[in-house]
Structure 1
């Protein structure tokens, strides 16, 4: 089978489409013929080696995490799916990838593809959907009437998280450029800060939750917009000691991550708010519940651009520019 792989970590990872053996299955796994694979910023970050200590791959490794496709084979212990079923899933953190003609998916990570979505739309959802769910519903326990700040509202995470937060009954603030104001307003944002004209920290006040989605000093600036008792849930770091403990990392890494997050934790604590880093985990049951929201039309995927399989590497380069409105997807079949 053909797969998009990288050969090594670093500035020259040697990314390209290569021929690999068709995967074999463990008893609880599905073999899925991949129709489409959604891309995420971490796909480009993995090849740099920045997550090598926490995301082990055997090189050369297949890239990608999100997929939608059709089950072609099941392991002997699989009970939830059968050949011919259309599914979508994230296989992030499984040591394998989705940018391939076939992918192995543990059955507990897969969910039925919503019937009202095509494969491209479904493939755009898993990581942004699970990240939004785990940040807003699971960790923040966002309640009706609370205020949540979701910066970069026109991006992959932003377009999904805004819709989920509105479905949960929250008041949503976001940032975007002038041209994207109509998009985020249509998605449900209540307070929109055009970052080309205003600084969000000078405009927004009284928020309960901040979703950290952009790098730089935005996290520190967001402390001031939170109410006492509020929380920052960061998707982009700095990593913290709690994350290292959850991953059962060694003492040295726990110390390093603790030092990395010390500044923002101290600043947050001084203002009476909390800080935590969120590392998304694949979860088929949660994805099934997200699929119900998609089926009911409460949330709609936002897709910026679809690339053919032969241009998968160009798709990753396009994503790396950071200008996509919504998701970038590679159509494989």
Structure 2
């Protein structure tokens, strides 16, 4: 089977197609013939060597985390899934990858794809969607009096987060590029800010919760617009920030909370329920597998709405 792999850390130039044996399934696994996989910031952080402590430095490495496709084979102990089912899922181990024609994955990390969405939309759900659900849990009790700022609000993560927060009734301000403002309003933001015209850090407004999806604001800057007992949610931490934030929180009322999410049926059930209720999943662009470098270059430059995916025929 064809797969995307790399033998050293670096830019998209290190990516290459390789031939690998089709995976064999263990008793608790399913073999999925992929139709699409989506691209997430974690993919290029790992590829660039920024996550060595968690991903290791053994090569070759595959890339990609969440995917959608059709089950071709099930392990002997798998129930509830069968050959021919259209599904989506996620590979849990950073040392594995979903950028291949086939993937063998534990059945508990695979869910049936709703017929109302495409394979590229389904492949866009797990990483960003589960992170959004996790973030809301980290926010604690929120209501109409809770003021929330989302910086970089109209990428894949923000797309899910805004729509889920709308169900909570919180007062949400979304910071986005000009082309994302209408999407942010449609997805549930009460107030939108065009970052090309306004600097949210210089406005005389403070918030109970600040979440930086762009990775450009940082906790140090965010403290300037945080209320006395506010929290800063960081879904794109540098490795060193994970332990540092824990110790720093012992001495300050303005908390720095790192978001580390793990795939779970509990979280996915929330997202599937929202899909049934009309959750919008915007796939900004879907590239053919042969244009994988262009796909990753496009995703890494940012500035697009929703998610970027790669289709496999």
Give distance in 1, aligned partners of 2:227 and 2:12.
45
The more displaced of 171-180 and 306-315 is 171-180
Give distance in 1, aligned partners of 2:54 and 2:283.
29
Match of 1:70?
70
Gaps of 5+ in 1: 244-256
Give distance in 2, aligned partners of 1:171 and 1:37.
33
Relative to structure 1, is the Cα distance of residues 184 and 11 closer, same or farther in structure 2, using a 3 angstrom cutoff?
closer
Match of 2:273?
292
Relative to structure 1, is the Cα distance of residues 204 and 293 closer, same or farther in structure 2, using a 3 angstrom cutoff?
farther
Match of 1:250?
none
Match of 1:133?
133
Q: Which residue, 274, 298, 303 being the options, matches 1:323?
A: 303
Match of 2:293?
313
Relative to structure 1, is the Cα distance of residues 262 and 66 closer, same or farther in structure 2, using a 3 angstrom cutoff?
closer
Give distance in 2, aligned partners of 1:57 and 1:323.
30
Contact kept, 8 Å, 1:29 with 1:74, in 2: the verdict is yes
Give distance in 2, aligned partners of 1:147 and 1:166.
12
The answer to whether 1:303 aligns with 2:303 is: no
Q: Matched residue pairs, number? A: 312
Gaps of 5+ in 2: none
Contact kept, 8 Å, 1:178 with 1:196, in 2: the verdict is yes
Q: Shift of residue 11 of structure 1?
A: 5.2
State the TM-score, normalizing by the size of structure 1: 0.86
Contact kept, 8 Å, 1:6 with 1:59, in 2: the verdict is yes
Q: Which runs of 4+ in 1 moved over 4 A?
A: none
Contact kept, 8 Å, 1:208 with 1:230, in 2: the verdict is yes
1:224-266: per-residue Cα shift (whole Å, max 9, x none)?
333332211101124467x5xxxxxxxxxxxxx43xx489x47
SS class of match (1:197):
coil
SS class of match (2:23):
coil
Contact kept, 8 Å, 2:63 with 2:97, in 1: the verdict is yes
Contact kept, 8 Å, 2:29 with 2:104, in 1: the verdict is yes
Relative to structure 1, is the Cα distance of residues 273 and 155 closer, same or farther in structure 2, using a 3 angstrom cutoff?
same
1:175-228: per-residue Cα shift (whole Å, max 9, x none)?
112232222112211121111111112336342222122234443222233333
Aligned CA-pair RMSD: 2.2
SS class of match (1:54):
helix
After superposition, residues 143-162 of structure 1 pair within 5 angstroms as 143-145=142-144, 146-162=146-162
Relative to structure 1, is the Cα distance of residues 11 and 319 closer, same or farther in structure 2, using a 3 angstrom cutoff?
closer
Give distance in 2, aligned partners of 1:132 and 1:62.
25
Contact kept, 8 Å, 2:37 with 2:311, in 1: the verdict is yes
Q: Shift of residue 280 of structure 1?
A: 2.3
Match of 2:61?
61
Match of 1:32?
32
Contact kept, 8 Å, 2:64 with 2:97, in 1: the verdict is yes
Contact kept, 8 Å, 2:139 with 2:209, in 1: the verdict is yes
Relative to structure 1, is the Cα distance of residues 226 and 7 closer, same or farther in structure 2, using a 3 angstrom cutoff?
same
Give distance in 2, aligned partners of 1:106 and 1:262.
32
Q: Which residue, 262, 283, 288 being the options, matches 1:281?
A: 262
